[in-house]
């Protein structure tokens, strides 16, 4: 069984094609600069496993062109990985915002498409691109079932006390203003891995497990997970709330917005840009949104004080959330680090967990620095630490493909 996974944005289309019998990625790639400048300057980067990479500059005025070139690359005699499109059992799409409509992934129907369209108001930067990818695939692969996997679905188990904001209640009932949370596919994937590990290594049954997951990439979010179900998460109505991120501010006093609008004469779009694009690691450090650059500047001689501050704020906020989620969960069995920074940056893992020995959480600095490459789960806590500190490489594509296959087979379409 072969599943094609599509993550389509407004100007890019990422893809992975996975053999679900072996969980092996046959190829992945990216169609970039799609639908910009009438498609001039668009580029396809195709990476077939075990074969040389293939890159082509081809015009892609819209997403249908992108899909066409991706499918051509997948079946190409030299750099292709399948003989024919008939080998694709199903397509799984990452969809960022599913609102309250989806507690799990869904087989694509016109109702599902309408519901995704309805959520554009909450995910204006992502849902339109997701929809374009879905429609383009439906046209190019008309007989292949398609499934939507939502970033928000894992967090739908949150209780009302965690998702309601302290605003007039009608804003929730009439406008849908509440915490939804994002990166759900990643939080769900690492939760499943942590769950298996805690059962096997610590003998803790799933229903008793208390896990805090930290997805630290360009976007950063955390989740409190009890008995395998999300009970709270740091992102909110949009992916702006919570932790400090590459270019996003995360939590702030809401009164800062009218203050800035007045002082700097900013309109609502300007404010949006400041919070989403000019803040976070980039905004504080003035150096970069990339953790590697910020760290290099913070440890340069002489150190860049703004980069030091950015690193400190980034880590401090994670520690604060670990503490509050431990309280929410009534204790913690494992803290999980994942995504670009979580998987690769030992400094962030050690600084954020420093001083948490009072709650039974201690990182072994040697294990933290010298992790084995390629392991599914690595415990970097000391032997004496009752709380495990796990580094688990995320695999959102495999999670999407797994859901897709389950749903397609469940509907007798596999």
- Shortest spacing between CB 394 and ligand ADP, in angstroms: 8
What is the separation of C-alpha 269 from the centre of its chain, rounded to a whole number of angstroms? 25
Catalytic residue among 16, 65, 151, 232: 151
Q: Which residues contact 167 (CB under 8 A, 6 or more apart)?
A: 177
Comparing every residue's Cβ against ligand ADP, the nearest one is 340
Q: Which of the residues 192 through 251 are near ligand ADP (CB under 6 A)?
A: 217-219, 246
Distance CA 96, CA 136 (A): 17
Locate all alpha helices (DSSP H) within 110-267, ordered by sequence.
110-118, 127-140, 160-163, 169-175, 184-202, 256-263
The size of the interface with ligand ADP (CB under 6 A), counted in residues, is 12
- Choose the binding region for ligand ADP from 69-77, 148-156, 162-170, 338-346 (rule: CB under 6 A): 338-346
Q: Classify strands 210-216 and 334-338 as parallel, antiparallel or unpaired.
A: parallel
Q: Using the minimum distance from each CB to ligand ADP, give the nearer residue, 65 or 151.
A: 151
Q: Is 345 in the site for ligand ADP (CB under 6 A)?
A: yes
- Shortest spacing between CB 30 and ligand ADP, in angstroms: 12
151 is catalytic: yes
Q: Using the minimum distance from each CB to ligand ADP, give the nearer residue, 12 or 209.
A: 12
Q: Using the minimum distance from each CB to ligand ADP, give the nearer residue, 155 or 210.
A: 155
- Choose the binding region for ligand ADP from 76-84, 196-204, 288-296, 306-314 (rule: CB under 6 A): 288-296
Distance CA 360, CA 388 (A): 9
Q: How big is the CA angle at 314 (ends 311 and 316), to the nearest 5 degrees?
A: 105
Q: Using the minimum distance from each CB to ligand ADP, give the nearer residue, 272 or 290.
A: 290
Q: Are the C-beta atoms of 198 and 211 separated by less than 8 Å?
A: yes
Q: Are the C-beta atoms of 333 and 198 separated by less than 8 Å?
A: yes
Q: Is 11 in the site for ligand ADP (CB under 6 A)?
A: no
Q: Classify strands 146-150 and 106-107 as parallel, antiparallel or unpaired.
A: antiparallel
Residues 291, 311, 399, 407: which binds ligand ADP (CB under 6 A)? 291
Distance CA 405, CA 105 (A): 11
- Shortest spacing between CB 147 and ligand ADP, in angstroms: 21
Q: Using the minimum distance from each CB to ligand ADP, give the nearer residue, 11 or 218.
A: 218
Q: 276, exposed or middle or buried, with CB in 10 Å at 0-12, 13-18, 19+? A: middle
Q: Are the C-beta atoms of 122 and 238 separated by less than 8 Å?
A: yes
Residues 344, 359, 365, 382: which binds ligand ADP (CB under 6 A)? 344
Q: Is 340 in the site for ligand ADP (CB under 6 A)?
A: yes
Would you report the helix, strand and coil content of the chain in percent, each value rounded to 5? 45, 20, 40
Q: Using the minimum distance from each CB to ligand ADP, give the nearer residue, 266 or 371.
A: 371
Annotated catalytic residues are 151
Residues near ligand ADP (CB under 6 A) are 217-219, 246, 290-292, 339-341, 344-345
């Amino acid at each position: 069984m072969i599943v094609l996974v599509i993550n389509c944005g407004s100007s890019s289309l990422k893809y992975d094609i996975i053999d679900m019998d072996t969980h092996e990625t046959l190829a992945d790639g990216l169609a970039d600069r799609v639908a910009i400048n009438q498609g001039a300057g668009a580029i396809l980067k195709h990476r077939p496993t075990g074969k040389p990479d293939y890159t082509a500059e081809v015009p892609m005025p819209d997403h249908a062109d992108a899909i066409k070139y991706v499918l051509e690359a997948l079946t190409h005699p030299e750099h292709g990985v399948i003989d024919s499109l008939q080998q694709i059992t199903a397509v799984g799409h990452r969809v960022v915002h599913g609102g309250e409509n989806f507690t799990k992934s869904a087989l694509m129907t016109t109702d599902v498409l309408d519901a995704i369209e309805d959520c554009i108001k909450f995910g204006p930067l992502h849902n339109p691109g997701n929809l374009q990818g879905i429609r383009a695939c439906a046209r190019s692969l008309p007989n292949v079932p398609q499934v939507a996997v939502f970033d928000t679905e894992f967090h739908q188990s949150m209780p009302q006390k965690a998702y309601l904001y302290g605003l007039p209640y009608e804003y929730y009932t009439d406008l849908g203003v509440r915490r939804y949370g994002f990166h759900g596919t990643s939080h769900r994937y690492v939760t499943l891995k942590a769950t298996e590990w805690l059962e096997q290594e610590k003998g803790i049954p799933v229903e008793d497990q208390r896990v805090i997951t930290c997805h630290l990439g360009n976007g950063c979010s955390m989740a409190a997970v009890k008995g395998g179900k999300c009970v709270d998460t740091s992102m909110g109505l949009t992916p702006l709330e919570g932790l400090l991120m590459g270019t996003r501010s995360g939590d702030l006093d809401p009164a800062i917005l009218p203050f800035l609008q007045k002082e700097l004469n900013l309109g609502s779009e300007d404010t949006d840009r400041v919070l989403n694009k000019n803040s976070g690691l980039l905004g504080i450090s003035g150096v970069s949104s990339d953790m590697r650059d910020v760290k290099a500047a913070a440890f340069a001689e002489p150190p860049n004080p703004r980069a030091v501050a950015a690193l400190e704020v980034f880590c401090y906020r994670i520690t604060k959330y670990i503490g509050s989620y431990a309280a929410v969960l009534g204790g913690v069995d494992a803290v999980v680090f994942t995504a670009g920074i979580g998987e690769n940056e030992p400094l962030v893992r050690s600084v954020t967990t420093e001083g948490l020995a009072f709650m039974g959480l201690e990182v072994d600095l040697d294990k933290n620095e010298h992790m084995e490459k390629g392991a599914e789960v690595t415990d970097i806590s000391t032997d004496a630490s009752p709380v495990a500190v796990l580094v688990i490489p995320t695999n959102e594509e495999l999670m999407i493909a797994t859901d897709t296959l389950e749903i397609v087979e469940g509907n007798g379409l596999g």
